[in-house]
Amino acid sequence: MTRLEATALAEFSVVEPVAARTVLSVENLVVGYPVDGRMIKPVDGLSFKVREREVVGLIGDAGSGKSTAALALLGLARAPGKILGGRVEFDGRDLLKLPDPEIRAIRGRDIAIIVQNPRSSLNPMLRIGKQIGYAYQAHNAASGPQLRRKAIDMLRMVGINDPERRADPYAHELSGGMAQRALIAMALSSKPKLLIADEPTSGLDVTIQAQFLDEMWNTVQETGSAILLITQELGTLANYCDRVLVLHEGRIVEDAPVREFFANPQHPYSRQILKLQRERGSSLGLESPEGGVKQLLKTTDLRKTFAVQHTRKTIQAVDKVSLEIGRGETLGLVGESGSGKTTVGRCLLRLLEPTSGSIVFNGEDLVKLPPNDMRRYRSKLQIVFQDPFDSLNPRWTIRRILTEPLDLHSDLSTADKNKRAEELIDLVDLDRSLLDRKPRGLGAGALQRINIARALACNPEFIVLDEPTSVLSPRARVGLIELLVRLQKELGISYLFISHDLTTVRYLCHKVSVMYLGQIVETGTVEQVFSRPRHPYSQALLSAHLFPDPTDRRVDKVIPAALEGEIPSPIDLPNGCYLASRCPHVVDACRTIPQTLDPVGGGQEVRCWRAVAGDVTAFAGGARMSDNIDDVVIVGAGASGAAVAWRLARAGLKVTCLEQGDWVRYDEVPSFRTDWEVARQTSHHPNPNVRQNPVDYPVDDSEAAIKPFLYNAVGGSTILWGAHFPRFRPSDFRVKTLDGVGDDWPISYEDLAPYYEENDRMMGVSGLAGDPGNPPRLARQMPPLPLGRGGETMAAAFDRLGWHWWPCDVAINSTPYGEGRGGCNNCGPCDLGCPSGARSSSDVTYWPQAIRAGAKLITGARVFEIETDSQGRATGVAYYDRDGIARRHRAHVVTLAANGLGTARLMLLSKSKRFPNGIANDTDLVGRRLMHHPTGMVTGTFDEAIDGYAGPFAVSILCQHFYETDAARGFVRGYQMQLVRSNGPVGTAVGGYLPRVPWGERHHETFRNTFARTASLTVTTEDLPRLDNRVTLSDTLTDRWGIPAPKMTYSLDQNTRDMIEHGIKSATRAFEEAGATAVRAERLVVNAGFHLLGTACMGSDPDTSVVDGDCRAHGVPNLMIVDGSVFTTSAALNPTPTIQAVALRAADWLIAARRGVEVAA
C-alpha cells in the first residue's frame, strides 16, 4: 500500500457503523396465575431485547406464554394473573414501576399492539376515520377537522387509495384487507417506537396474510418503529423478521439472527420445529413410489352444486373436477378458502353426494353404489378432519373411539378389538395410557394422531387429509407430517392432502392440483407447479405464500402485483375464465372463452389458454444475495459505474452494482478469430438493434437521425470503444457565458481537474503532456502511441497549414501498465477485445480493484424501476435477474450509471404517486436535451501505402484549430478533427470509411488502390442541447422481459449542419495539403450514436436541470446520476474521461456527505 492510499484509508475509516439503540429490554419477567392456591407461571424468567428498527419474531408452541408475555410488556396481565417480577425497560424507564397515568400514556403512543384477528378489533359502531382519529387523540392534542385530516393521512400512508372516501364507512363495509390496513393505521397513528403484533394474521387466507404483513413491514420501515412479531408460522419468521426469539416454557431458549436460526438452530425445541426444513432442504416434493404408480382413485367431471336458499340459483362448489391418485401416492389439493377443495374431499367419500360425475375407486364407481354398499366401502376410504378438537366424540374414551370402526367393519372379539386399539395407539406414537381417557384435555397434536389412528383402524387404502395440520402448533405440525410420511411408507396408503399451507404440501405431496372457484386451474407434479407455475392464479398463490426460507425473503423481492379484488361470488359465474376479473394477464377474449384444462407437457395441465400459448410470464422464487440494506446500489457497470463503485467501496461503503450484461471473457473474444471483421458487423456490432444479444434491449431509433451505439457488459460501452481520451476544454463548461447558447455547467474544469488526473491514473493513458491548446496536466502514464505513417503525413500537413494538432491522449497502454495488462502490439481489432489487455475498458481497470475493495457486482440484472417511499426518497431498485425473476435490491442511495439512454429510460419507467412522470422528472427534463456528436467523415486516399490498418483503432492525432467560436464562420461553437486509421481488409472491401469497393472486374484494382492507403479525419461537432431531441419510452417495443424499450427522437439543426460542412471543407483542405489523391466525404455518419449525453442534465437551478453539480437529483435527495446523462453541454470531443471524472467527483461528494444524506427510512 502506498503512503497515499494508507492516509486515504485512515481518513475513510472514521465512518463507523452506528450501533442500533435498544428500544425494549426485558429482564427476568415473571407472570403468574393462582390455581388451586399455588402459582402457575406461564411466563417465567423472560429476558430479551428489541433494538431500533428491528423486526423481532417470537415463536413458540400454544401455551408457551407468548400472548401473556405480550400483554405483560405493557404492564398488563389477564385477571387473576399478576406480574410477579422482572423489569421491562422501555426508553430507559421500567414500565412495571411507572405510575398508572404514565404507563397509560406509553401504551398506544410509544408501544402499540395489534392483536389476533384484526377484523374483530375494529369497533363496529364507529366510522373508520373517527376510530383512527380517536386512537390518535388518545395521545395527541387534536380535535375535529384536524383529527379527520390526520386519519386520512394515516390511511394514505398504509396505501389506501382515495382515503378521503375510505374514512367514512364502518368496519363491516370495508373488505378484509382494507380493515387490516385501517388497523395498522390506527396502531401506527402515533408512530410508536415499538409495535407488538400478536399473531395478527391467524385465520386469514394466505394472500391476505401476506398483504397484511407486507403492509405492516413497509409502514414500519417508513415510521422507523421496531416490531415484536408473535407467530406460530415459520414462514412469517423467515420472511419478515431480522431476529428470532424462541419461547419455550415461559423463557427465551434461543435468540438468534433469522438466517442463523434457520441454518443452525441451537435449542432442541428449535431443532425440532425446523427439522423438516433441515432434513429436506430445498427439495421439492416426494419421490414417486418406485416402479410407477397404479391408479387407485380417479374422478371424472365431479360436480357439486348447492341450491341458494329462496332463489333458483345454485352455487357451483365443485365444477368438473377430474383427479387421479395412484397407490401410495399423495395428491395435494390447494386453494384459498372458498375454492371448493374441502367439498371435493367430502364428495370423494360421499359424505356429500356429488351432483354428477364419477368416482372410480379400485375399478368401482362409488357414485353408483347404493348407500348400504357404500357404508361397507368406508373402511377403505377414510378422512381426517381439520379440527382435532371437534372430530372426536367428547363423551367417549379413546378406546371406544378407536374400536368403533372395528365394531362396524369386523367381527373381532372384544379382546381382539382392544388389542387392535393398542396397536393403533402405538402406530401413531402415543402412550397406551391414553386409551382410557377422554379427548378433553389432550393437545391438538395428540388428538390429531388419534384421528389418524381411528382412520387407520380398518386398514384403509385411501385417506382424505383435510387440512390436518392447520391448527397445530409448530412442533406438533412437524411431528404429524413425519407421521404421515412414515405411515404412507409403511402401509402404502394414498392421501389426498387438502391444504392452503404450501410449505407442507411441498414436503408431503407427489402431485398437486390448484383449485379456484370450484375448478382445478392447474395440476402437475410438485416440482412442476412449485418451480414453474403456469396459471396466473397458481403464480399468485405461490408468490403470496411465505416459504420458511430466510435466504429468499419476501421483503427483499419484488412481488408481482397480487390479484386484484377478492374472490367473486360462486353464484352466476361468467362464461369465460373465472379469474378474468382479477387476472393481470387478462385480454378481452378471456372473458368469453370457456377455459379447459389443457396439457402443457410433462403431465402438467393448466386451465388458461394464454398460459398454454406461453403468454403468461413465469414467476418463481429463488435465492437472493444481500443480507441487509446496501449503502449504495449502482445501476450499470460501465465507465462511470465502475469508477463510482471503486471509489465508494474503497471508502468503506457497502456498494452493489447491478449490470444487465455479463463479464467479457477475453479468451473468447473475436480478436482471436479469423472472422473478427465479420463479428464487428454482427455479434459485436455496436448497435444493439443489429447485435440483438440476449442481454441487449432494443432501441426504437425510427425517428433518430443518428443510430445508437452502446454495449451491455461489465465495462459497458468501453468494451467496444476506441479509447480516445481527450479532456474537455475549460471553455466547454461555460458556453452560455461565452457564446450565449446552451447552458453553463455548475462545475468548472478546475473542479474536475484532480479527478481527471485520478481517472487517468486508474485507466492508464498514453500521450504527451504539454499541448499548448489545453491546460497543463501531469505527465501521462505512458508515452504516446506511434503516430504511424498516416499520422506523420497529416501532422506535417497541419503544420504547413499552421493549424493546431497534438497526439491524442489514448487509454491504450503503449507500454505495460496496470494489473496484468501488456502494451499495445498494434494488431488493430481493438474494439473486438484486446488480446494483450492493452486497451483500457473499465472491466479491466476499475472493476478488479473495486471488487477487491468490497464492491459487489451482480450481472444479468436488468433494473426496471427505482423504488421510492411515500416521501419520494429512493429505497432501492427492482430488477429482473438472468432468469426473468423479479427481485428487489434495497439501498440508502441509488446511483444511476446506465448511459444517457438507459438512465433516462429507467427514470421514465420509475413512475410513482409522488413522481407520476418518472422519478425526478417534475420538470419534464428527463430524456430531453439528448446530445450526440454529429460527425462527418472525410477520407483521403494516398498513392503510397501508409499502413493505416496497423496500430490501434484509436485516434492518433487531433486538431482543435476550429474548436472555439469564430463569428466569421457562420456558426457558434466548433468542432475538432481526429485522425483515424483505416480498416482491415474485409472492412476495406465492404467500404470501410468509403463507399464499398465495387464487385466485378475493377474490384481487385480498387481494393489495391484503397487498402492501407487511406486515412480519415472525423469532424466531431459540438451538439447544442435542444428539448426536442429526446429519449422517451416506446409505446410498442419492449425488451425480452416486457419492459418498454427506449425511443430516440433526434434531428440536426442548421448550426450543426453548417459546422459539419465547414469541417468537411477543412478536412479536405488538410488532405489536399497532405497530398491525398482522392478525398471523399460522408456528410453525416449515421452509425455514430456512441456518445449519449444530456438526458438528465446538470444545473444549479432545479427548474431547468435534473441533477445538481454533485450529481444529486433535484427532489430526490438520495438519487444520484453519474453517467453522461448529466452533461449540460456536449463539447466536441470524446466524453469518457469527463464522464468518469464527474462520477468520481460525485462519489467523493457522497463519501463526504455520507452521514448527512437524507435516506429513505
Partner 1 sequence: MSSLHALSQSDLLPRRRRDWLFGLGLTIVVIVVALAIVGPYVGPYDPTLTTPNVSVPPPSLSEIPGLFGAWISGSLEVPPNWMGTDASGFDVFSRVIAAPRTDLVIALVANGLSLLLGVFLGLIAGYYRNAATELMMRVSDVMQSFPVFISAMVLVALAGRSTSNIVIALAFVYTPIYVRLTRAEVMSQKVRGFVEAARALGNTELSIAIRHVLPNSLTPALIQASVTIGFAILLTAGLSFVGAGVRPPTPEWGLMISTGANQIILGEWWPSVFPGIAISLTVFGFAVLGNALERRYDAS
Which positions lie near partner 1, rule CB under 8 A? Answer: 33-36, 42, 62-63, 67-68, 78-80, 116, 349, 351, 375-376, 378-379, 381-383, 385-387, 389-395, 404-405, 408-409, 440, 443-444, 451, 454
Tell the smallest beta-carbon distance from residue 67 to partner 1 (Å).
Answer: 6
440 or 996, CB closer to partner 1?
440
Write out the E strands in 637-698.
Answer: 655-659
57 forms beta bridges with 229, 244
In degrees, rounded to 5, the angle at the alpha carbon of residue 381 between the alpha carbons of residues 378 and 384 is 110
Tell the smallest beta-carbon distance from residue 40 to partner 1 (Å).
Answer: 8
DSSP state of 567: P
Tell the smallest beta-carbon distance from residue 138 to partner 1 (Å).
Answer: 27
Tell the smallest beta-carbon distance from residue 262 to partner 1 (Å).
Answer: 25
Contact by Cβ (8 Å): 771, 800: no
CA distance 788 to 1083: 26
In degrees, rounded to 5, the angle at the alpha carbon of residue 475 between the alpha carbons of residues 473 and 477 is 65
- Measured in degrees and rounded to the nearest 5, phi and psi for residue 766 equal -100, 135
Tell the smallest beta-carbon distance from residue 378 to partner 1 (Å).
Answer: 4
Tell the smallest beta-carbon distance from residue 375 to partner 1 (Å).
Answer: 4
Q: Terminus-to-terminus CA distance in the chain, angstroms?
A: 37
What's the gap between Cα 958 and its chain centre? 46
Contacts for 1027 with CB less than 8 Å, ≥ 6 apart: 928, 929
Tell the smallest beta-carbon distance from residue 464 to partner 1 (Å).
Answer: 9
185 or 487, CB closer to partner 1?
487
| Cα–Cα nearest to 44, from 266, 243, 252, 270 | 252
386 or 581, CB closer to partner 1?
386
Measured from the Cβ of residue 446, the count of other Cβ atoms closer than 10 Å reads: 21
SS3 43: strand
| Cα–Cα nearest to 306, from 111, 571, 51 | 571
For the record, the C-alpha cell of 582 comes out as 382479477
Tell the smallest beta-carbon distance from residue 240 to partner 1 (Å).
Answer: 21
Tell the smallest beta-carbon distance from residue 457 to partner 1 (Å).
Answer: 8
SS3 569: coil
Distances (CA, A) of 675 to 408, 680, 996: 84, 9, 19
Contact by Cβ (8 Å): 502, 531: no
320 or 378, CB closer to partner 1?
378
68 or 983, CB closer to partner 1?
68
Burial letters 798-830, b for 16+ CB under 10 A, else e = beebebbbbbbbbbbbbeebbeebebbeebbbb
400 or 1083, CB closer to partner 1?
400
29 or 1121, CB closer to partner 1?
29
Tell the smallest beta-carbon distance from residue 379 to partner 1 (Å).
Answer: 7
Q: Is the peptide bond before 1046 cis (omega within 30 degrees of 0)?
A: no
Measured from the Cβ of residue 919, the count of other Cβ atoms closer than 10 Å reads: 28
CA distance 586 to 409: 52
Tell the smallest beta-carbon distance from residue 385 to partner 1 (Å).
Answer: 5
567 forms beta bridges with none
68 or 1020, CB closer to partner 1?
68
Contacts for 807 with CB less than 8 Å, ≥ 6 apart: 767, 768, 784, 785, 787, 791, 956, 957
SS3 660: coil
* Residue 942 CB burial class (10 angstroms; 0-12, 13-18, ≥19): buried
294 or 440, CB closer to partner 1?
440
347 or 926, CB closer to partner 1?
347
Contacts for 943 with CB less than 8 Å, ≥ 6 apart: 1013, 1075, 1077
42 or 726, CB closer to partner 1?
42
Do the bridges between strand 806-807 and strand 957-959 make them parallel or antiparallel, or are there none, so unpaired? antiparallel
Tell the smallest beta-carbon distance from residue 1114 to partner 1 (Å).
Answer: 53
277 or 391, CB closer to partner 1?
391
16 or 36, CB closer to partner 1?
36
CA distance 487 to 199: 32
CA distance 726 to 1135: 8
Tell the smallest beta-carbon distance from residue 650 to partner 1 (Å).
Answer: 54
What's the gap between Cα 518 and its chain centre? 33
Tell the smallest beta-carbon distance from residue 402 to partner 1 (Å).
Answer: 11
SS3 793: helix
167 or 406, CB closer to partner 1?
406
450 or 795, CB closer to partner 1?
450
394 or 740, CB closer to partner 1?
394
Tell the smallest beta-carbon distance from residue 477 to partner 1 (Å).
Answer: 15
Tell the smallest beta-carbon distance from residue 474 to partner 1 (Å).
Answer: 14
387 or 422, CB closer to partner 1?
387
Tell the smallest beta-carbon distance from residue 42 to partner 1 (Å).
Answer: 7
408 or 625, CB closer to partner 1?
408
CA distance 1004 to 997: 9
Distances (CA, A) of 576 to 491, 580, 596, 606: 43, 8, 10, 15
Inter-helix orientation angle 128-137/144-157, to 10°: 110
